[in-house]
């Protein structure tokens, strides 16, 4: 079995070593143009040329959860795209989003600013009933985040494509229930995959439906958000702030207004990192299962795009 590794912006050697150890019978090579065609591919944002040269691929294993970059390409007929299914990312996302929610709710940035001036200050505690947290996307990551936020007793709402029932959460589904979900939400967390249906979903019209003093946490993809619409709603006071981990262009260009906006906290796409060891174990297991003709988790539905 031949496995080709083609991951943009990723140091290949440690991955190759890991896969060679996990799959001793396989030839695992980093892809170079013109390399022999492989049975399976391990990818992150590969060039179209890579896929064009690999017509016989059975599995295309993405070393992240989001497959949006891959789904824009022309894929070999018959290849199944498989995403990372948690692989240690869900708990990272849960801690990151919990931190962002609590930092906003407890006004920790304002305390930090006071402390920087040696100012001993108190703020009146907020009521958590006034800070309903709404999570868009209740998949592998969204559900784990919901479980974590649930521990802090905020009212919890969730929105997904198909109807769900999650303990402690008021669940909404589909386009028909989206407005109701937004109108009841104050802290909005985006954990949707980026697809034609979700591109630009956080635009002025939708963000304006959040409760006054709303807060936006985007940990999914930059293109879910319309940047100038967020800034307009922050500047007119409808929204109180935003924690943004993902951007339309990454790295975020130095001249982008998000860097310096007083109500925006920027992090460099780091809310849930791909963990190499966990991912190698997971992907190697799935390759072997696929070779045995067994079902594997995390296969992307090409119609839905996630």
Which residues here bind ligand NDP, judged by CB under 6 A? 64-66, 89, 137-142, 159-162, 191-195, 197-198, 219-221, 245-246, 269, 271-272, 306
As measured in angstroms, the least distance from the Cβ of 262 to ligand OXD is 27
Q: Pick from 92, 274, 279, 282: which binds ligand OXD (CB under 6 A)?
A: 274
Q: Pick from 60, 65, 101, 242: which binds ligand OXD (CB under 6 A)?
A: 65
Q: What sign does the CA torsion over 122, 126, 127, 132 have?
A: negative
Nearer residue to ligand NDP within complex by CB, 184 or 238: 184
Nearest 5°: the CA angle 284, 287, 290 is 150
CA atoms within 13 A on the CB side of 62: 24
Which one of the spans 59-67, 93-101, 131-139, 173-181 is the region binding ligand OXD (CB under 6 A)?
59-67
Burial class (CB in 10 A: 0-12, 13-18, 19+), 82: buried
CA torsion 247-248-252-253 (nearest 10°) is -160
* Residue 192 interacting entry, from ligand OXD, ligand NDP, none, C-beta within 5 to 8 Å by type: ligand NDP
Beta strands in 48-176 (DSSP E): 59-62, 80-82, 133-136, 156-160, 170-173
Active site residue 269: yes
As measured in angstroms, the least distance from the Cβ of 278 to ligand NDP is 13
Question: Three-state DSSP class for 207?
Answer: helix
The reply on whether position 305 binds ligand OXD by CB under 6 A is no
Both tokens of 204, joined, read: 């002025």
Reduced to 3 DSSP states, what percent helix, strand and coil does the chain have, rounded to the nearest 5?
Answer: 35, 20, 50
Nearer residue to ligand NDP within complex by CB, 248 or 269: 269
As measured in angstroms, the least distance from the Cβ of 83 to ligand NDP is 7
Which of the following is catalytic: 269, 273, 276, 292?
Answer: 269
* Residue 160 interacting entry, from ligand NDP, ligand OXD, none, C-beta within 5 to 8 Å by type: ligand NDP
């Amino acid at each position: 079995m031949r496995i080709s590794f083609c991951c943009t912006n990723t140091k290949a050697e440690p991955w190759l070593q890991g896969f060679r150890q996990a799959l001793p019978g396989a030839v695992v090579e980093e892809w170079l143009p013109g390399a022999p065609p492989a049975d399976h591919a391990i990818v992150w944002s590969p060039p179209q040329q890579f896929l064009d040269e690999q017509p016989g691929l059975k599995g295309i294993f993405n070393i992240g959860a989001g497959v949006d970059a891959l789904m824009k390409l022309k894929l070999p007929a018959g290849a199944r795209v498989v995403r990372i299914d948690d692989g240690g990312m869900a708990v990272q996302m849960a801690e990151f989003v919990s931190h962002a929610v609590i930092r906003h709710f407890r006004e920790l940035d304002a305390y930090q600013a006071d402390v920087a001036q040696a100012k001993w200050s108190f703020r009146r505690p907020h009521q958590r009933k006034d800070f309903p947290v709404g999570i868009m996307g209740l998949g592998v990551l969204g559900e784990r985040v919901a479980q974590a936020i649930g521990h802090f007793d905020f009212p919890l709402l969730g929105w997904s494509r198909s109807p769900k029932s999650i303990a402690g959460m008021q669940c909404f589904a589909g386009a028909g229930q989206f407005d109701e979900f937004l109108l009841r939400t104050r802290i909005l967390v985006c954990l949707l995959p980026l697809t034609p249906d979700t591109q630009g979903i956080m635009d002025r019209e939708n963000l304006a439906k959040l409760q006054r003093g709303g807060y936006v946490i985007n940990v999914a993809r930059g293109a879910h958000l319309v940047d100038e619409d967020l800034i307009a709603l922050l500047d007119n006071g409808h929204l109180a702030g935003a924690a943004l981990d993902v951007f339309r262009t990454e790295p975020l260009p130095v001249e982008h207004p998000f860097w310096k906006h007083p109500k925006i906290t920027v992090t460099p796409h780091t809310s849930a990192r791909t963990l190499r060891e966990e991912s190698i174990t997971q992907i190697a297991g799935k390759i072997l299962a696929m070779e045995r003709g067994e079902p594997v988790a995390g296969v992307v539905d090409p119609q839905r795009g996630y």
